Amino acid sequence: MAGEDIWILGIHMTKFGKHPDRDTVDLASEAVLGALADGGVTMKDVGVMAAGNLMGGAAATGQLIQKQVGQTGIPVYNVANACATGATALRTVIMSLKADESDVGLAVGVEKLAGAGLLVGGSRAADSDTWTRRGRFGQVAPVDGRIGTDTMPGVFAQVGMEYGHRYGGVDFELFARIAEKNHAHSTLNPLASYQKRFSLEEIMNDVMIAYPNTRPMCSANCDGAAAAVVVTDAKRKTLSLEQQRRCVKVSASVLTTDPWEEACQILPNVNTLTRNAAQQAYETAGVGPEDLDLVELHDCFATAELVHYDNLMLCEEGGAADFFRSGATWRDGKMPVNVSGGLESKGHPIAATGIANIWEVCHHLRGEAKDRQIEGAKVGLAHVIGLGSACGVHILEAAA
């Protein structure tokens, strides 16, 4: 029935990293078959599918995946929504289930990004001192080299520095310590692209990409896929007790874009839409930030993680630096953040990230995260944001 609870029944992610001998269909198929097996169902049970891929260029990624895992004639939605692509795919099947179109849905995100280099949001059209208005979007001149930059490391460097300028208490070492935390967490995650601990000195003295982000403070471009099987509450009740026990409730699934702000017509604002998504998610789930046992947020750069502590209301407004310095976000702190190692070490195959963040939270809520388990975890939040902009927030709860 419309409006009933939705549950994640099965979920799987591939090892993130370099997979030169496998294409997007290979990786996605591994994730899909893994999620189906994890949930104890097959493609015959699935009534709707959404597939996310941003950089692969295929117009029908989902249909290509079906040819590998099973063609049953079901509707397939191919989605692309910047770094929120995976979360968007999941939200698409959740909406279909809530509309009572099916009782089992499948979402998958996949990307081949190893060796992609710097991801660029736009380009400077002409090296000229004069600007000529032209085209539908001619009122917005290319900004690269004029006002900041469109390259992702530069954009998020600006985001972090702006936060420090506004609230104070922020310096190069603080951002480096965030990366230190995430790389330390990664040593416990066998599916992370990198599982290496870095000293603070190593991080600060590495290659500077865009101040204050050095190379270990940037997300790793890599290959990978993740998939989730979701079911309605009615369907869940027909499953075995073990399947029901391992189900994870989707208490909130929220997707936002930028509201109109004059400044963000030129430079992206990652803050407003994230705060809006978080507020909606907390209200829908009936929980607050204080109820969360862990958070997987979109740390595409160390600077991004800091501002999202504030945007997700994990701390008081303007208090992100003090919040981090309190030790709260380490895995043994009061609000563990990016226990997976985050995008900085787990890696960031764009379309897979949204579901991979949810994979991490699900494993803690099920008590299946092994060495990195957050003991007694009952409620978790997964967050992704893509410039352009789109923000996905999911709040997840363990089965009673």
Domains of the chain, by residue range, sit at: 6-116+222-250, 152-214+252-398
Question: Which H or E element spans position 294?
Answer: strand 294-296
Question: Quick one: pLDDT at residue 318?
Answer: 97
Question: Quick one: pLDDT at residue 116?
Answer: 74
27 alpha carbon, distance to own chain's centre: 18
pLDDT tier, 123 (very low <50, low <70, confident <90, very high otherwise)? very low
Range of weakest confidence among 134-138, 162-166, 391-395:
134-138
Classify the C-alpha dihedral 287-290-293-297 as positive or negative.
positive
Taking the C-alpha atoms of residue 297 and residue 4, their distance in angstroms, rounded to an integer, is 27
List the structure tokens of 28: 């996605």
Question: Quick one: pLDDT at residue 136?
Answer: 57
Prediction pTM value: 0.93
pLDDT tier, 400 (very low <50, low <70, confident <90, very high otherwise)? confident
* Other CB atoms within 10 Å distance of the CB of residue 64: 20
Question: Quick one: pLDDT at residue 82?
Answer: 94
* Angle value at C-alpha 104, between 102 and 107, nearest 5 degrees: 110
pLDDT tier, 110 (very low <50, low <70, confident <90, very high otherwise)? very high
Taking the C-alpha atoms of residue 276 and residue 62, their distance in angstroms, rounded to an integer, is 30
Question: Quick one: pLDDT at residue 148?
Answer: 66
Question: Which H or E element spans position 383?
Answer: strand 379-386
Q: Does the fold of domain 152-214+252-398 match that of domain 6-116+222-250? A: yes
Taking the C-alpha atoms of residue 153 and residue 210, their distance in angstroms, rounded to an integer, is 6
List the structure tokens of 197: 């601990």
Taking the C-alpha atoms of residue 18 and residue 366, their distance in angstroms, rounded to an integer, is 29
- Residue 203 and residue 176 in contact, taking contact as beta carbons nearer than 8 Å: yes
Enumerate residues 6+ apart whose C-beta is below 8 A from 338: 181, 182, 185, 295, 296, 297, 299, 305, 329, 344
Closest to 5 (Cα-Cα) out of 309, 273, 251? 251
Question: Quick one: pLDDT at residue 142?
Answer: 56
Closest to 391 (Cα-Cα) out of 81, 4, 7, 84? 84
Closest to 170 (Cα-Cα) out of 267, 310, 265? 310
Question: Which H or E element spans position 304?
Answer: helix 302-311
pLDDT at 124 over 60: no
Question: Quick one: pLDDT at residue 125?
Answer: 47
Enumerate residues 6+ apart whose C-beta is below 8 A from 168: 321
Average pLDDT over residues 172-189: 98
Classify the C-alpha dihedral 7-10-16-20 as positive or negative.
negative
pLDDT tier, 56 (very low <50, low <70, confident <90, very high otherwise)? confident
> 310-352, pLDDT tens digit by residue?
999 999 999 999 999 999 999 999 999 999 999 999 999 999 9
Enumerate residues 6+ apart whose C-beta is below 8 A from 134: none
Question: Quick one: pLDDT at residue 266?
Answer: 66
Average pLDDT over residues 191-210: 96
Average pLDDT over residues 376-389: 95
The CATH homologous superfamily for domain 6-116+222-250 is: Thiolase/Chalcone synthase (3.40.47.10)
Whole-number average pLDDT of the chain:
92
Length of the chain counted residue by residue: 400
> 221-251, pLDDT tens digit by residue?
999 999 999 999 999 999 999 999 999 999 9
Question: Quick one: pLDDT at residue 18?
Answer: 96
Enumerate residues 6+ apart whose C-beta is below 8 A from 8: 228, 229, 230, 247, 248, 249, 250, 358, 362, 396
* Other CB atoms within 10 Å distance of the CB of residue 307: 22
Q: 152-214+252-398: which CATH number, 3.20.20.70, 3.40.47.10, 1.20.120.1200, 3.30.2350.10?
A: 3.40.47.10
Tell me the one-letter amino acid at 353: T
> 66-90, pLDDT tens digit by residue?
999 999 999 999 999 999 999 999 9
Question: Quick one: pLDDT at residue 122?
Answer: 46
Q: How far is CA 1 from CA 221, 358, 395, in A?
A: 41, 25, 21
Taking the C-alpha atoms of residue 121 and residue 156, their distance in angstroms, rounded to an integer, is 12
